[in-house]
Amino acid sequence: MASNTEKQQPALADTPKPPYYAVIFSTTRTEGDNGYGEMAEKMAQLATTMPGYLGVESTRNEIGITVSYWKDLESIKNWKYQMEHVEARDLGREVWYQSYRLRIAKVERDYGFEKR
């Protein structure tokens, strides 16, 4: 068990056997938070309630990259048009993002390594 002073490693998404889909959302931000952190956390929680959602991995530095994993293209489409997500996306364009790029990819192979 990690102590309060030890930094926890972020967990990688525990995805099923392929095929499944990855939505890769890369961003550059505008200056200041302006409510971004709170909304990002809210969207991350909301995504977990969507049918077909499989997991997420995210990092935010000079370039923010969030990869969310989905069962199928229909699940991705449903997330795209989820009302609160649409509102957050509009705010992103108006307030938080200098630029962004979204890519959708089919995952056909998945393997990894974990040190114990």
Mind listing the pLDDT tens digit for each residue in 57-84?
Answer: 999 888 999 999 999 999 999 999 999 9
- CB-based contact 112:17 (threshold 8 Å): no
- CB-based contact 88:41 (threshold 8 Å): no
Whole-number Å distance between alpha carbons of 113 and 88: 35
What pLDDT was estimated at residue 34?
A: 92
Mind listing the pLDDT tens digit for each residue in 14-31?
Answer: 999 999 999 999 999 999
Domain boundaries, the chain: 20-107
- CB-based contact 102:25 (threshold 8 Å): yes
What pLDDT was estimated at residue 116?
A: 85
Assigned CATH for 20-107: 3.30.70.100
Model-level pTM? 0.86
Task: Report the chain's mean pLDDT, rounded to a whole number.
Answer: 92
Bridge partners of residue 21, in order along the sequence? 70, 106
What pLDDT was estimated at residue 60?
A: 87
**HSE of 22, CA atoms in CB hemisphere, 13 A:** 20
